[in-house]
A and B are shown apart, each in its own frame.
Chain A
Amino acid sequence: MALAMGLALAGCGEMAARPQPTGINDPYESANRRVHAFNKGFDTAVFKARPGHPRTIDNGFTRSVTNVGNNLGLPGKVVNSLLQGRPEPAVKNTFRFLINSTVGLAGIFDPAGSSFSLPETDTDFGETLAVWGMGEGAYMELPFFGPSTERDAAGRIVDIAMNPVGAVLKGSDATAATVARLAGKAAERKRFGETVESILYDSADSYAQSRLLYLQSRRYQLGGKENNDAQAWDPYADPYAQ
């Protein structure tokens, strides 16, 4: 039922495709900056590399933990692709999930990506809302989750509530799945430690820098591979004001 409704809505969304927003809409900046300070404090306490230690830890262990966590996220992505009316990524992620859960030993390994050219197609309910025609809304930094927008924050809540893996698994299995997903996020944070820490700890204004990077990459992800030529930066036409 929800699926049929989603597909119908997705149809409307595609027709009423709105232009990608530009610029920064951040009316809650002072509140967001307080959340950012909290998140940065949390990251410093839990994840930040100690002086003299490498920021990035990309080895078999962090990869395996990341893989297991991401594998458990695939069913939710399949549902979202269907809600967006995009069967192809849904089919690909389904096969990816089936291969990695079995041949890949519960997702520890990634034979789907390495041997079957089935890399993960990333999506979430925030993207589903975008496909359905909902506007991006104001920028928001969420505790623990980090940079977001009003639309993506709503998407997060729905993704957590929807969680198809939790609906199938019962009791301690469901808890184990949640722990594995959180561990996957932690391992991923260390795998991309250099990138994350250069933004958080090397920027003159880590709030402004992470806001910019989030909005740019999110809009790129949601806009597909289309580029908006009218918005391209031309420093020769107007070197000062952009």
Chain B
Amino acid sequence: MPRPGTPMPTPMRNDRRRLLGAGLAAFAGLLVAPRGAFALDDTQARALISRAVTEVNSAIDSGKTGQPLYDLFESIFVRFADVPTIARSALGTASRSASGAQMAAFTTAFRGYISRKYGKRFREFIGARFEVQGARLVKGFYEVKTVAYLQGQAPFEVLWHVSDKSGKDLFFNIIIEGVNMLAAERTEIGAMLDARHGDIDALIKDLKTAG
């Protein structure tokens, strides 16, 4: 699809072309000003995940372990993922009744929790290779397909869902062989909240050391 504002090579009289041009520019302005659904394209989505995968690979190869490695993952997570949206989705309906301060505290605690939880597991990915295979549009966001190659295992599919609706190109979900990170974290956070009788502050406090 041509980008908005691409000159149309149609023979037209100057005045009509100018008028149409102005219209197109206004239309393009509408699309661009509040970044619209078409601002992100598959090349950008692929590029984002390629960069994220490269950084994850170099973090795994860095030889760091424990907290320094988790810190590295947290910085990657913050730069490439839409953490506030992931956190809100994981908290589910409870995020509707949470105050702004609670949401901010929860998001920060959630970020550390995710980095520790998945950071621990990333040790299993030492020597792994992620290959970006392609991207396609799904319901207004992009799905970038990567294949993970692990020694001694059949290659498996990892899908990254990328959106620009936060104002930046960021991923908001990872699906490993059909297993959806947002769904898993919603189950986990929901169970933690139930165990604390719906007390968000208690959840935030415990999340700071969980994972």
A: residues with CB less than 8 A from B are 56, 58, 63, 113, 119-120, 194-195, 198, 202-205, 208-209, 212-213, 216-217, 219-221, 223, 225, 227, 229-230, 232-237, 239-242
Q: Is the CB of B165 within 8 A of A236?
A: yes
Whether the Cβ atoms of B182 and A194 lie closer than 8 Å is: no
* 9 examples of A-B residue contacts, CB within 8 angstroms: A208-B187, A209-B191, A217-B177, A233-B161, A233-B183, A235-B85, A236-B172, A240-B88, A242-B183
B92 touches A240 (CB 8 A): yes
Across the interface, name the chain B residue whose C-beta is closest to A214.
Answer: B179
Whether A235 lies near B182 (C-beta < 8 A) is yes
Q: B93 within 8 Å of A by Cβ? A: yes
Q: Which of A63, A113, A236, A240 has its CB near the most chain B CB atoms (within 10 A)?
A: A236
Size of the B side of the interface (Cβ < 8 Å), in residues, is: 40
The 5 A-B pairs at the shortest CB distance, nearest first, are namely A220-B178, A205-B191, A204-B191, A235-B89, A119-B154
SS of A interface (majority): loop
Please report the number of residue pairs spanning A and B whose Cβ atoms sit closer than 8 angstroms.
Answer: 102
Considering the complex, which residues of chain B in the window 130-182 have a beta carbon less than 8 Å from any beta carbon of chain A? 138-141, 143, 152, 154, 157, 159, 161, 163, 165, 172-173, 177-180, 182
Contact A235 B183 (CB under 8 A): no
Residue B96 interfacial (CB < 8 Å): yes
Contact in complex: A63, B182 (CB < 8 Å): no
**Which residues of the partner chain A approach B191 to less than 8 Å between Cβ atoms?**
203-205, 208-209
A217 and B178 form a contact (CB under 8 A)? yes
- In the complex, A58→B151 CA distance in Å? 11
B40 at the A interface (CB under 8 A): no
Shortest CB–CB separation between residue A67 and chain B, in angstroms?
10
Closest Cβ neighbor of A119 among chain B residues? B154
State which of A229, A235, A240 has its C-beta within 8 Å of the C-beta of B86. Answer: A235
Q: Are the CB atoms of A194 and B92 closer together than 8 Å? A: no
Residues of B within 8 A of A203 (CB): 188, 191
Which residue in B138, B172, B187 is a CB contact (below 8 Å) of A209?
B187
Asked whether any CB of chain A lies closer than 8 Å to the CB of B12, the reply is: no
A residues less than 8 Å from B180 (CB atoms): 216, 233
Nearest A residue to B172 via CB reads: A235
Which among A198, A220, A223, A229 is the interface contact of B179 at CB below 8 angstroms? Answer: A220
Whether, in the assembled complex, B15 has its beta carbon less than 8 Å from a beta carbon of chain A, the answer is no
- Residue B129 CB within 8 A of the other chain: no
